[in-house]
A and B are shown apart, each in its own frame.
Chain A
Amino acid sequence: DVKVTQSSRYLVKRTGEKVFLECVQDMDHENMFWYRQDPGLGLRLIYFSYDVKMKEKGDIPEGYSVSREKKERFSLILESASTNQTSMYLCASRNSGGARETQYFGPGTRLLVL
């Protein structure tokens, strides 16, 4: 079974703090993704990565950055957290076989920024 893990299930941070969300997958997948999920807005793509040290902006990259130093790990960084970044963050990974491949998700991190 594919396993995608996220470092925290729940996180509370203060405005202005630097926040790291970690995601690790154990299936040697090339592709990894970060989404945020908000009520009424569904899932929106923040960043994705095709391979180590590669990154691409998604639909809403502002206020976020990412790091992919190792194949199994994809980190999402909030440089200076703001209250509008309170959300559910979902990481996913996928093989590089193209659009037909299945994306597998982690359990999510629910972030509250005060």
Chain B
Amino acid sequence: AQSVAQPEDQVNVAEGNPLTVKCTYSVSGNPYLFWYVQYPNRGLQFLLKYITGDNLVKGSYGFEAEFNKSQTSFHLKKPSALVSDSALYFCAVPPISGNTPLVFGKGTRLSVIA
């Protein structure tokens, strides 16, 4: 079955430093991979997705993610973190082809410290 794993429950980073939120995947065939962000007491907001093509995907709010097939990873990155980036981040993958819903990782809480 297709799945994603987020190995870190919590990531702390100082404001202005680069941030990375990790995601590894296990899929057969070509993967579709998604990142979402959830601010406190809100729903999930779509950040970016990898379908095919360039391994570096750019998304909302200055975030980008790098698809690495050899390492089966899709890490979320931002060159300079803001305090307002503090939130819960989810990586997701569709379990099989067709109209099946996304399966989400457990989430990583990002805290950006001023």
Interface positions of A (Cβ within 8 A of B): 4, 6, 9, 30-31, 33, 40-43, 45, 48, 50, 58, 90, 92, 94, 96, 98-100, 102-108, 110
Contacts and interface: CB of A to CB of B under 8 A. Distances in A.
A90 B41 contact: no
Contact of B106 (A33, A41, A58): A41
Contact of B99 (A9, A31, A42, A105): A31
A42 B106 contact: yes
Contact of B32 (A31, A48, A100, A110): A100
Contact of A100 (B51, B96, B101): B51
Nearest to A58: B101
14 contacts: A31-B101, A40-B106, A45-B101, A48-B101, A58-B101, A99-B100, A100-B32, A102-B46, A103-B102, A104-B46, A105-B44, A108-B42, A108-B43, A110-B41
A43 B91 CA distance: 11
Nearest to A33: B101
Interface string B68-107: 0000000000000000000000100010111111111111
A94 to B, nearest CB: 8
B43 A99 contact: no
Nearest to A95: B99
Interface of B: 32, 34, 36, 41-46, 49, 51, 90, 94, 96-107
> A4, A31, A98, A99: which has the most chain B beta carbons within 10 Å?
A99
A98 B101 contact: no
A48 B103 CA distance: 13
B62 to A, nearest CB: 19
B32 A99 contact: yes
Given A41-B106, A42-B106, A107 B97 contact: no
B83 to A, nearest CB: 22
Given A31-B99, A100-B32, 11 more contacts: A33-B101, A41-B106, A42-B90, A42-B107, A45-B101, A45-B103, A50-B99, A99-B98, A102-B46, A102-B49, A108-B41
Given A50-B99, A90-B44, A102 B34 contact: yes
Nearest to A10: B41
